[in-house]
């Protein structure tokens, strides 16, 4: 149990062999938040998109067809689970694979959209997600090579120096996976329908971003 003046004391830990997940007040709140929004995605029905027909008084409301809806919900739940894993993971490599799963499920959520503009944005975002895996896992590999370990518990407190470039690569990787730089593609992606599911894209990316801040200050 480490007690650094960053996020408060570690409350409890769940060992999975060499990967020890831990909860501090900070990561616990992030985890609960991810769980809350996953529950919202499970419980709530998608909204109907209201729009006007040009030149008339009519208003139409669009509903997502069943299969699309089911797939979006499935992906949103997977995204929530990945975000939950990333928020409490106590191992850098494990965090990285949860993060890349977040990136992939985000693409899955919008994949069912029929809107060409949204799909174009999602395509660009998907390319960034794929590129981002290089700095992400590169950062983890540099950490392993220079320190000999991957466990955040061992690295915490700055007892073992983690090189700056490894941290920079990790941040860059998370930026690519979660919140593409400058948000342009993400903003276009959120035009897709299905509020509770689309919201998971935003939730997961902000949570992994918050987690990487904690990790790079801790190690």
Q: Binder to another protein among 2, 47, 69, 141 (CB under 8 A)?
A: 47
Phi, psi values for residue 161, rounded to 5°: -75, 125
Here the tokens at position 196 are 């509770």
Instruction: Let me know if 199 is exposed, middle or buried by CB neighbors in 10 A (0-12, 13-18, 19+).
Output: middle
Q: Indicate whether 73 belongs to the interface with another protein (CB under 8 A).
A: no
Q: Indicate whether 43 belongs to the interface with another protein (CB under 8 A).
A: yes
Q: Indicate whether 11 belongs to the interface with another protein (CB under 8 A).
A: no
Q: Binder to another protein among 54, 59, 66, 116 (CB under 8 A)?
A: 59
> Nearest distance from residue 196's CB to another protein, in Å?
5
Q: Binder to another protein among 10, 23, 76, 186 (CB under 8 A)?
A: 186
Q: Binder to another protein among 46, 80, 88, 208 (CB under 8 A)?
A: 46
Tell me how crowded residue 65 is: count the other CB atoms within 10 A of its CB: 10
How far apart CA 219 and CA 214 sit, in angstroms, is: 9
Q: Indicate whether 157 belongs to the interface with another protein (CB under 8 A).
A: no
Q: Which long-range contacts (CB under 8 A, 24 or more apart) does 60-65 make?
A: 62/193, 64/193, 64/194
Q: Indicate whether 38 belongs to the interface with another protein (CB under 8 A).
A: no
* 68 DSSP 8-state letter: H
Q: Indicate whether 1 belongs to the interface with another protein (CB under 8 A).
A: no
> Nearest distance from residue 43's CB to another protein, in Å?
5
State which of positions 97-136 bind another protein (CB under 8 A).
97-98, 100-101, 104-105, 107-108, 111-112, 120-121, 124-125, 127-128, 131-132, 134-135
Angle at 8 between CA 6 and CA 9, to 5 degrees: 125
How far apart CA 100 and CA 192 sit, in angstroms, is: 22
Q: Indicate whether 214 belongs to the interface with another protein (CB under 8 A).
A: yes
78 vs 156, beta carbon nearer another protein: 78
12 vs 183, beta carbon nearer another protein: 183
Q: CA-based diameter of the chain, in Å?
A: 69
């Amino acid at each position: 149990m480490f007690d650094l003046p960053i996020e408060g004391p570690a409350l409890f830990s769940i060992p999975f062999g060499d990967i020890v997940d831990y909860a501090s007040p900070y990561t616990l709140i992030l985890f609960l938040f991810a769980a809350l929004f996953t529950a919202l995605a499970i419980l709530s029905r998608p909204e109907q998109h209201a729009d006007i027909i040009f030149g008339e008084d009519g208003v139409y409301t669009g509903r997502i067809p069943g299969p699309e809806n089911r797939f979006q919900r499935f992906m949103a739940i997977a995204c929530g689970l990945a975000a939950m894993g990333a928020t409490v993971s106590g191992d850098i490599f494990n965090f990285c694979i949860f993060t890349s799963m977040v990136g992939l499920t985000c693409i899955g959520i919008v994949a069912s959209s029929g809107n060409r503009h949204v799909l174009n944005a999602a395509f660009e975002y998907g390319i960034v997600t794929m590129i981002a895996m290089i700095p992400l896992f590169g950062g983890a590999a540099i950490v392993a090579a220079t320190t000999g370990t991957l466990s955040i518990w061992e690295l915490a407190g700055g007892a073992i120096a983690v090189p700056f470039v490894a941290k920079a690569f990790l941040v860059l990787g998370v930026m690519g996976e979660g919140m593409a730089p400058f948000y342009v593609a993400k903003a276009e992606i959120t035009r897709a329908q299905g509020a509770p599911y689309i919201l998971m894209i935003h939730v997961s990316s902000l949570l992994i971003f918050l987690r990487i801040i904690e990790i790079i200050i801790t190690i």
